[in-house]
């Protein structure tokens, strides 16, 4: 049952300097379905794959609007994401009430990072079991942040979290150079293509399992769900993985030199909290 003696709580380091409860929390993210985020000079886009636990059940919500300029995509424990999103909403509202301004994206991200960090340092607490992609626009332009239960947050030009997300990241790494000047449509399609690559062999993107959201400079956060996704899937064309089979990419798949797109490696760098 236990991996070792050092994972009973999140306040005890292992002799190797790891905090296992936090690492397990990062594993919870990988249990969740994939979510992709990417930014251009003018827009930020979130794309996510929804899952239903049962054939007759509804699909779990993957993208949550926080404010008119801000939203999140989640992978992992959805209830934990609700707690975080409610907190983000109240932060966002306070900013508007007190300062009469939409909260800067980095500020709200740092606020949840601080909350998450507390859980890694107090006995009897549990780290959040969810990873978030935060997409938003503020006075310094569009932004995409990744949040991890360790309390680590990093800004990206494009990244993906959740099950089989390495394939999506591989797509983003290969195409990130065209993101910056991409139109809204192109950016969404890049997102869908990245998400498509994370699909298992016999799966495809449908109006039922795709959620996507766009926010732009001067354009409110807009969530596309259900039938609203159809127009985008039409533009995408092929809705199955272009990678032929859903196998994990080998190390050779990654471009040489390591593109600067996804600097935080969720697979190995889980404990890179010292930076």
In the complex, the residues that contact other proteins under the rule CB under 8 A are: 65-68, 89, 93, 96-101, 104, 106-107, 138-140, 220, 223
Q: Which of 42, 182, 40, 61 is nearest to 130 (CA)?
A: 61
Write the CB contacts of 244 (distance below 8 Å, at least 6 apart in sequence): none
Distance CA 45, CA 5 (A): 42
CB nearer other proteins, residue 115 or residue 203: 115
Nearest Cα neighbor of 37 from 178, 181, 190, 227 is 190
Minimum CB separation from other proteins for residue 97, in Å? 7
In angstroms, what is the minimal distance from the CB of 110 to other proteins?
A: 8
Contacts of 234 (CB under 8 A, 6+ apart): none
Q: Which of 49, 63, 41 is nearest to 157 (CA)?
A: 41
Measured from the CB atom, the residue of 105 and 199 that comes closer to other proteins is 105
Cβ of 36: how many Cβ atoms within 10 Å? 32
- 43-49 β-sheet, strand order: 158-161, 35-39, 43-49, 210-216, 219-224
Of 109 and 172, the one with the shorter C-beta distance to other proteins is 109
The smaller minimum CB distance to other proteins, of residues 223 and 271, is found at 223
Beta-carbon contacts of residue 201 (< 8 Å; ≥ 6 apart): 241, 245, 246
Which CB, 97 or 251, lies closer to other proteins? 97
Q: How far is the CB of 106 from other proteins (least distance, A)?
A: 5
Q: How many CB atoms are located within 10 Å of the residue 112 CB?
A: 23
**101 or 235: whose CB is closer to other proteins?**
101
Residue 188 CB, shortest distance to other proteins, in Å, is 19
């Amino acid at each position: 049952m236990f991996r070792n003696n050092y994972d009973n709580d999140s306040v005890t380091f292992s002799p190797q300097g790891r905090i296992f409860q936090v690492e397990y929390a990062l594993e919870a993210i990988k249990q969740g379905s994939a979510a992709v985020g990417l930014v251009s000079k003018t827009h930020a886009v979130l794309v996510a794959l929804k899952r239903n636990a049962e054939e007759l059940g509804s699909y779990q919500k993957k993208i949550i609007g926080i404010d008119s300029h801000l939203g999140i995509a989640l992978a992992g424990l959805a209830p934990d994401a609700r707690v975080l999103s409610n907190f983000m909403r109240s932060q966002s509202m306070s900013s508007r009430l007190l300062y009469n301004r939409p909260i800067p994206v980095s500020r709200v991200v740092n606020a949840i990072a601080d909350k998450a960090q507390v859980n890694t340092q107090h006995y009897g607490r549990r780290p959040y079991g969810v990873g978030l992609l935060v997409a938003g626009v503020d006075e310094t332009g569009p932004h995409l942040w990744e949040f991890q239960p360790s309390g680590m947050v990093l800004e990206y030009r494009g990244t993906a979290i959740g099950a089989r997300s390495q394939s999506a990241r591989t797509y983003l790494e290969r195409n990130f150079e065209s993101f910056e000047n991409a139109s809204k449509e192109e950016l969404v399609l890049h997102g869908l293509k990245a998400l498509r690559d994370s699909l298992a062999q016999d799966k495809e993107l449908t109006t039922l399992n795709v959620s996507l959201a766009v926010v732009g400079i001067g354009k409110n956060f807009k969530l596309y769900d259900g039938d609203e996704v159809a127009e985008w899937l039409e533009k995408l064309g092929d809705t199955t993985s272009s990678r032929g089979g859903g196998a994990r990419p080998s190390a050779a798949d990654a471009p040489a030199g390591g593109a600067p797109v996804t600097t935080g490696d969720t697979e190995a760098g889980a404990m890179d909290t010292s930076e």
